[in-house]
Amino acid sequence: MSRHDHQLHEGDSLKEAARDRLTSEGEQWTDMRAAVFDALASFEKPASAYDVAEAVSKSEGRRIAANSVYRILDLFVGANLARRVESANAYIANRHPECLHDCIFLICDDCGQTVHIDDDSLSASVRKAAAGAGFSAPRPVIEVRGKCGDCEPN
């Protein structure tokens, strides 16, 4: 597996990295966006836009419409601050927003735990296979539904 020296942020470090990334795209880091990012990052598992809306509503002490959350999540995905997990209709914070991978998600069907791996050689193979069929592949979606080590009886 390919390896490199990127950093996996957490807590304030992650938040800062996210803010830097977003502002470097010419977008604003508003209170609302910070709240949405906090809420998203606080989840261990992929969270639906509605889960995030609920969490933000709680933290803000007022009702936040899903609508607003969608707008912000879309922005985040575009800026690489978050990823959409297609097979779960959900979103997950990107722990290293500063570097761009075609990442691979492993989602446990039992407990929902999700880990992601960045195997650039593997995703490159997928791109290449797509190119072989005449497709350009800006966005490979590689997700694996299965069972994690804890849930797998083994």
Partner DNA sequence: TCACAGATGTTATATTGTATCGGCAGCGGC
Partner DNA sequence: GCCGCTGCCGATACAATATAACATCTGTGA
Residues lying near its own copies in the complex (CB under 8 A): 1, 86-87, 89, 104, 106, 108, 115, 117, 119, 122, 125-127, 129-130, 132-149, 152
The entry of DNA, its own copies, none that residue 11 binds, CB within 5 to 8 Å by partner kind: none
Give the residue carrying structure tokens 């639906």: 48
Site string for DNA, 9-48 (x = CB under 7 A): ------------------xx-xxxx--------------x
Query: CB-wise, 14 or 49, nearer to DNA?
Result: 49
Transcribe 33-99 into DSSP letters: HHHHHHHHHH-SS-B-HHHHHHHHHHHHTS---HHHHHHHHHHHHHTTSEEEEGGGTEEEE-S-TTS
Query: CB-wise, 100 or 129, nearer to its own copies?
Result: 129
Query: CB-wise, 24 or 89, nearer to DNA?
Result: 89
Backbone angles phi, psi at 16, to 5 degrees: -65, -45
